[in-house]
Structure 1
Amino acid sequence: MSVGKRLYHYALLYKKTIIIALVMLTVSVAAELAGPFIAKKMIDDHIMGIEETWVQTDQGEDAVAYNETFYKREAYLNEGEQTGGEAGIFQIGLNFYFVDEPVTEAEGERSYKNGMLNFGTGEDAVSYSADELSTSEVLAFYRPEIPRMIQLVLLYFALTVVAAVFHFGQEFQLQRSANRIIQKMRTEVFGHIQRLPINYFDNLPAGKVVSRITNDTEAIRELYVQVLAQFFHSGIYITGIYVALFILDPTLAAICLVLIPLLILWMVIYRKYASKYNQTVRSKVSEINASINESIQGMTIIQAFRKEKKIQDEFEEKNTTHYQFQNKLLNLNSLMSHNLVAILRNITFVAFIWYFGSGALNAESVVTVGVLYAFVDYITRLFQPVTGIVNQLANLELALVAGERVFKLMDEEGETVADGKMDRIKGHVKFDDVSFAYKNDEYVLKNLSFEAKPGETIGLVGHTGSGKSSIMNLLFRFYDNQKGVISVDGMNIQEVPKQTIRDHMGIVLQDPYLFTGTIASNVSLNDPRITREQVEAALKAVGADRVLTHLEQGIDEPVIEKGSTLSSGQRQLISFARALAFNPAVLVLDEATSSIDTETESIIQEAMETLKSGRTTFIIAHRLSTIKNADQIIVLDRGEIVEKGTHDELMARRGKYYQMYELQQGKKAV
């Protein structure tokens, strides 16, 4: 499905609000476009209407006294009111002339000389006896028009108010629906991220993901708020103008239809280049966000190793590319927006002048001043929506590119989140001939087989890259093994929903991650199943109460991003208490004591014996002293098990474990 169709389907979710907005927009445009018709009526029927036929009548409503006789416009005459002959009033420049007889020929150039009003020149000239009217007499003849003109002015004002009110309403409704669409889209994108497998994030910087959820969805929001509103408004506005033009003069309206294919052709050409530029711009925005995020996270290292200049240069390279393509977009918009509209406007006015100059203003085809005014007004108005469409094409293309990026993320295959529960497992973990590779056939674990019985403590040791953490990744199903079977209580974990099996596991990482909130919320993760008493008990069980006693608000002490105001030992204890609060059947300590001071490690060690009871515990450790009491120690080397046994057994073999242990002891003795 194309990006446009998917964005359209999102709009359909709130079609009721959008339809209401479009109805209000239609009313607003109709009220606004009625203005020139009102002006035309005022000009033709009331300002220029004074030149219509006047007839003698008795004194009464709309009757005007002149030379002791009352005259009334034929348009206002009721049946039986005419008492005499016809008369006429004609204007030459700023002067008006009264002809007290029927005027049958009033075409051609007008002139007044020696009491005679002449129409035409040469042999075709026609003359009538006429009197020049004074200013007061002219105003008297205009007096019947004033109430009608006031009514039209009030109607025009009322329509302007209606247009403004409904325009506000449609904008409010569109903004409201756009906000709800983007809210839903962001919720779905963020929810989808939670379902993506861990390996998706291995090669994707966090800043790029953030950019898609924030920047790209905001660009899509502009599509629904600005672009959609402008396109609908312009479409209805242009349609209304063409309807009005066809009512006024079908021929000229047909000429103006040439604008439509020209506009479509321009949109096709514009999108061809704008799409390419916008793709690069959005990509660079993501890279810039990723760069900023990485720099902030690693600011300590950057400054410690004096890499400010290098990081600045790398950032400037991305920023310069972004700037260059923004300029290309700017040049494209500047070249093809204002210039295009100006050219189309000039072409239309040339056609307008040619049409009226060559054929419309002759004796056979008389066009009134009101019609001319309405035409000029509508043609001028016609280019307002055209300009609006042209100006929004950049935002349209930007939104489509942003939508493509967002939907590409949403199209990544996610994992089904299962709400199913199962009874607490016993914690019998077995690896049977398990092999695993992160990339193709580059296996990091090779034919591993071992067993951890319920309640046992298993130590995993080995040099960096030996595969210790990969075992935990497989156990938690962050990744799935390609060969062999991993079972828990006899169940193949690949046949159990990931969330279900993880519900019975707990983990403490080498670098503990704390969320913004409080110490208590970081222990419970706001899980309603974990009470405050359980939080306090978990913290006490790991000895955290002794380390956190100096905090002013205790377990309600605020924690900012990643717990940067806490020491590494405090963060690790909170992370340890978090795992215990969920009472897992299988507990994993991934080098959990490697970044902790000796005193804090001692506190954890004291609690370990109690905590191991009733659960299977895996300890990945560089400090071999932390696993001396383990029921089984597995020694890994390049993804293979090279030794297995208790501490005493392995020391007696004087193999790889013995060498590692003696080396650490030697370092401590220095």
Structure 2
Amino acid sequence: MSERVKKKIFDFSLLRKVFRFVKPYRWQFYMSLVLAIVLAVFTPVRPFLIQLTIDKTDPSKAVHIPQWVHWAILNTDTSNPLHFIIAVTIFQVVFIFIETFVRFLFTFLTSWMGQSVVRDMRIQVFRKILGLNLKQFDTTPIGTLTTRTINDIESINDIFSDGLIPIIADLLSIVITLATMCWINWKLTLISLVPFPIMIVATYYFKESVNKSFIRVRNAVAALNAFVQEHITGMQLVQAFAAEDREFGKFRKINQEHRNANIKSIFAYSVFFPVVEVVLALSTGILVWYITDRRLDAGLLVSFILYLNQIFRPLRVIADKFNVLQMGMIAAERVFKVLENEDYIKKEGSYNPEKVRGEIQFDKVWFAYNDENYVLKNISLQAKAGETIALVGHTGSGKTSIISLLNRLYHIQKGTISLDGVNIEEYQLDALRGSIGVVLQDVFLFSGSVMDNITLRNPDISKEQVIAAAKLIGVHDFIMQLPGGYSYDVMERGNTLSLGQRQLISFIRALLYNPSVLILDEATSSIDTESEMLIQKAIDTLIAGRTSIVIAHRLSTIRKASQIIVLDKGEIKEVGTHEQLVALGGFYAKLHSMQFEKQVPVS
């Protein structure tokens, strides 16, 4: 593993960030630490009592019984071996139930705390994703963000349930057990731990090997999620171009990497656990040899064998838990990259008018999606309240970018954009977007009913309002023909509806909010002529008194625009009415000639 990765894994500032989410659950955290200490103290109790019990069976041996044992067995007569053994046995049975209950509380509390932190963190991550600039979604695969929101955050749960606190509990139990062994017989303790350096070396190499493979696994999981999500979404395209075999080959390669990483970790486990057993056997053998050679007590032998098992038992899993902790920290680093992403939509504006008139002005606006590669260059335009302006130009000329900037989906690099003479940056984001209705060319519908997709599950919008809007556009009859009418389930992305039907639904959705500004981005591009005539009639009625921005390749939809703006490579080339631009004989006139005089439709 590189030094860079190591540094990040042991970055205590990152651990502090994680534990900020523990703040609401402080008492559960402190209680889990108390329980960890209690369990550690409990660890050497039973072996010590077993040693006393065995020693007590030898009448010739004087056995010193500590005061706490007298208290534990309710001051039973210890001079009688039988009474003592029965009392200690009863206590051990009760003690086992108490220890089991405490261990249950510890396990449940750490897991509960981990799941609570995961819930809170996932909420914050998703809220952050909702507020990110669209640029982040342009450059980050959806599957990667899905991995951050689900898989990586779930790994953070392991920091609590299988990582930090359980490691502390195991280390405490080892320390207390070793202290007890040294208290009983420090020489015997040192002799029995002679093979221990082998265990330390094996643990180190196991930790390093498994951690590297876990990093590979995590990267492979992210790659698998991104690949599967992307290809399921684009399955129609994959099948249309008969690319199933080629894409399946790519999937098998990614999946093979995931398998290889897991097998490498499995190999490390397969080597490490037998090594632990061998070291334990060596320690036990040395212990038996030493005690037998010097004719020490049988109780001492049995208790030390039990102590060694209590040391090696957590050591078997502590390296694995440490890897779990490391992977949780790596996952936390990725999650905090999302939480600390500064490329989010700024919402500092406080201007919240009850109603906007709809006067729009772009003043020398420059915009680039990436660095200095400007897609809009020195754009200046103005739309008076109630006017309809049209944007025309080849694909990639900057039409959609202009309306995206008006909605503050992206931030401009230079210039200003104003609505009613107020910079849009000064508006509350909800107030700004609530004043603008948008119908996009690429319509997205969520899983759910037609009604849910029209209202976006807004409880303030009644079914009567939806029906009235649908009738106004002439779509009500089409919806009622669907099975279940407005309750018809459109499935994911609206796949059970045609593209034209999806656009009609999105058109209702935009108009239902009664916006002051209406944006139509190729809104009629996928609708047949009859549907277009219905929508055009509705548009003529609805744009009255509203500022409208229309992007269309079909010039028939923009003939009545107050002004038509012709864009080319991010710059304004022509501005005027339909008649003025046709008379000008420039770009617009050529496009008009292609569509109406030569009857060549433009897609």
TM-score (structure 2 length as normaliser): 0.88
The answer to whether the Cα contact below 8 Å between 2:559 and 2:578 also exists between their aligned partners in 1 is yes
1:356 positional shift: 3.3
| Alignment partners' CA distance in 1, 2:53 and 2:291 | 22
Would the alpha carbon gap of residues 3 and 354 (structure 1) be closer, same or farther in structure 2, given more than 3 Å must change? farther
1:570 positional shift: 2.2
Name the counterpart of 2:16.
Answer: 5
The answer to whether the Cα contact below 8 Å between 1:3 and 1:404 also exists between their aligned partners in 2 is yes
**Matched pairs, number:** 575
| Residues 1:640 and 2:576 are matched in the alignment | no
The answer to whether the Cα contact below 8 Å between 2:361 and 2:382 also exists between their aligned partners in 1 is yes
1:182 positional shift: 0.5
The answer to whether the Cα contact below 8 Å between 2:363 and 2:380 also exists between their aligned partners in 1 is yes
**Structure 2 residue matching 1:465: 3-state secondary structure:** coil
Name the counterpart of 1:410.
Answer: 339
1:619-658 superposed matches below 5 A: 619-658=550-589
| Alignment partners' CA distance in 2, 1:586 and 1:256 | 82
1:252 positional shift: 3.2
1:445 positional shift: 1.7
**Structure 2 residue matching 1:202: 3-state secondary structure:** helix
Name the counterpart of 1:173.
Answer: 109
Over residues 476-526 of structure 1, what are the superposed CA-to-partner deviations in whole Å (9 max), with x where a residue is unaligned?
122222222221111122344444422321211101111222222222223
The answer to whether the Cα contact below 8 Å between 2:390 and 2:551 also exists between their aligned partners in 1 is yes
1:95-106 superposed matches below 5 A: none
Name the counterpart of 2:218.
Answer: 282
| Residues 1:372 and 2:301 are matched in the alignment | yes
| Alignment partners' CA distance in 2, 1:262 and 1:425 | 76
Would the alpha carbon gap of residues 49 and 585 (structure 1) be closer, same or farther in structure 2, given more than 3 Å must change? farther
1:294-443 superposed matches below 5 A: 294-335=230-271, 337-349=272-284, 351-353=286-288, 355-356=290-291, 361=295, 367-413=296-342, 414-417=344-347, 420=350, 421-443=352-374
1:187 positional shift: 0.8
The answer to whether the Cα contact below 8 Å between 1:182 and 1:221 also exists between their aligned partners in 2 is yes
| Residues 1:551 and 2:482 are matched in the alignment | yes
| Residues 1:579 and 2:510 are matched in the alignment | yes
The answer to whether the Cα contact below 8 Å between 1:544 and 1:570 also exists between their aligned partners in 2 is no
**Structure 1 residue matching 2:526: 3-state secondary structure:** coil
User: What amino acid is the match of 1:11?
Assistant: V
User: What amino acid is the match of 1:48?
Assistant: D
1:210 positional shift: 0.4
| Alignment partners' CA distance in 2, 1:534 and 1:323 | 54
* Pairing partner for 2:124 from 183, 188, 191: 188
Name the counterpart of 2:549.
Answer: 618
Would the alpha carbon gap of residues 176 and 239 (structure 1) be closer, same or farther in structure 2, given more than 3 Å must change? same
The answer to whether the Cα contact below 8 Å between 1:207 and 1:286 also exists between their aligned partners in 2 is yes
Name the counterpart of 1:609.
Answer: 540
Would the alpha carbon gap of residues 52 and 298 (structure 1) be closer, same or farther in structure 2, given more than 3 Å must change? closer
Would the alpha carbon gap of residues 453 and 51 (structure 1) be closer, same or farther in structure 2, given more than 3 Å must change? closer
| Alignment partners' CA distance in 2, 1:166 and 1:425 | 64
User: What amino acid is the match of 2:22?
Assistant: A
**Structure 2 residue matching 1:450: 3-state secondary structure:** strand
TM-score (structure 1 length as normaliser): 0.80
The answer to whether the Cα contact below 8 Å between 1:458 and 1:633 also exists between their aligned partners in 2 is yes
The answer to whether the Cα contact below 8 Å between 1:333 and 1:394 also exists between their aligned partners in 2 is no
Name the counterpart of 2:530.
Answer: 599
Would the alpha carbon gap of residues 669 and 242 (structure 1) be closer, same or farther in structure 2, given more than 3 Å must change? closer
1:44 positional shift: 1.3
**Structure 1 residue matching 2:21: 3-state secondary structure:** helix
Would the alpha carbon gap of residues 167 and 209 (structure 1) be closer, same or farther in structure 2, given more than 3 Å must change? same
1:612 positional shift: 0.6
| Residues 1:41 and 2:52 are matched in the alignment | yes
| Alignment partners' CA distance in 2, 1:544 and 1:161 | 70
| Residues 1:220 and 2:148 are matched in the alignment | no
| Residues 1:243 and 2:179 are matched in the alignment | yes
1:438-517 superposed matches below 5 A: 438-517=369-448
User: What amino acid is the match of 2:122?
Assistant: R
Over residues 526-576 of structure 1, what are the superposed CA-to-partner deviations in whole Å (9 max), with x where a residue is unaligned?
334433333333333322212211123322323322111122222112211
* Pairing partner for 1:524 from 455, 461, 477: 455
Structure with more contact order per residue of length (Cα contacts < 8 Å, sep ≥ 6): 2
User: What amino acid is the match of 1:601?
Assistant: E
**Structure 2 residue matching 1:14: 3-state secondary structure:** helix
**Structure 1 residue matching 2:574: 3-state secondary structure:** strand
| Alignment partners' CA distance in 1, 2:275 and 2:99 | 29
Q: Determine which structure has the larger strand proportion and give its number.
A: 1
| Alignment partners' CA distance in 2, 1:300 and 1:282 | 29
Q: Which runs of 5+ in 1 are unaligned?
A: 54-73, 77-143, 362-366
The answer to whether the Cα contact below 8 Å between 1:43 and 1:49 also exists between their aligned partners in 2 is no
| Alignment partners' CA distance in 2, 1:658 and 1:548 | 39
**Structure 1 residue matching 2:22: 3-state secondary structure:** helix
1:75 positional shift: 7.0
1:34-113 superposed matches below 5 A: 34-45=45-56, 47-49=57-59, 76=79
1:40 positional shift: 1.7
| Alignment partners' CA distance in 1, 2:201 and 2:428 | 53
The answer to whether the Cα contact below 8 Å between 1:25 and 1:233 also exists between their aligned partners in 2 is yes
1:255 positional shift: 5.8
Aligned identity (percent) is 36
Name the counterpart of 2:73.
Answer: none
1:214 positional shift: 1.1
Would the alpha carbon gap of residues 234 and 419 (structure 1) be closer, same or farther in structure 2, given more than 3 Å must change? farther
Would the alpha carbon gap of residues 8 and 447 (structure 1) be closer, same or farther in structure 2, given more than 3 Å must change? closer
1:49 positional shift: 2.9
RMSD: 2.7
* Pairing partner for 2:34 from 3, 10, 23: 23
User: What amino acid is the match of 2:472?
Assistant: A
The answer to whether the Cα contact below 8 Å between 1:459 and 1:618 also exists between their aligned partners in 2 is yes
1:642 positional shift: 1.8
The answer to whether the Cα contact below 8 Å between 1:233 and 1:385 also exists between their aligned partners in 2 is no
1:668 positional shift: 4.4
Quick check: 242-251 or 629-638, which moved more?
242-251
1:613 positional shift: 2.2
| Alignment partners' CA distance in 2, 1:255 and 1:536 | 87
1:426 positional shift: 1.0
Quick check: 260-269 or 606-615, which moved more?
260-269
The answer to whether the Cα contact below 8 Å between 1:427 and 1:488 also exists between their aligned partners in 2 is yes
1:265 positional shift: 6.3
The answer to whether the Cα contact below 8 Å between 1:31 and 1:162 also exists between their aligned partners in 2 is no
Would the alpha carbon gap of residues 543 and 257 (structure 1) be closer, same or farther in structure 2, given more than 3 Å must change? farther
Over residues 168-197 of structure 1, what are the superposed CA-to-partner deviations in whole Å (9 max), with x where a residue is unaligned?
122111221111011011111111111211
Quick check: 247-256 or 591-600, which moved more?
247-256
The answer to whether the Cα contact below 8 Å between 1:7 and 1:403 also exists between their aligned partners in 2 is yes
User: What amino acid is the match of 1:508?
Assistant: V
User: What amino acid is the match of 1:49?
Assistant: P
Would the alpha carbon gap of residues 416 and 437 (structure 1) be closer, same or farther in structure 2, given more than 3 Å must change? closer
Quick check: 218-227 or 284-293, which moved more?
218-227
The answer to whether the Cα contact below 8 Å between 2:349 and 2:427 also exists between their aligned partners in 1 is no
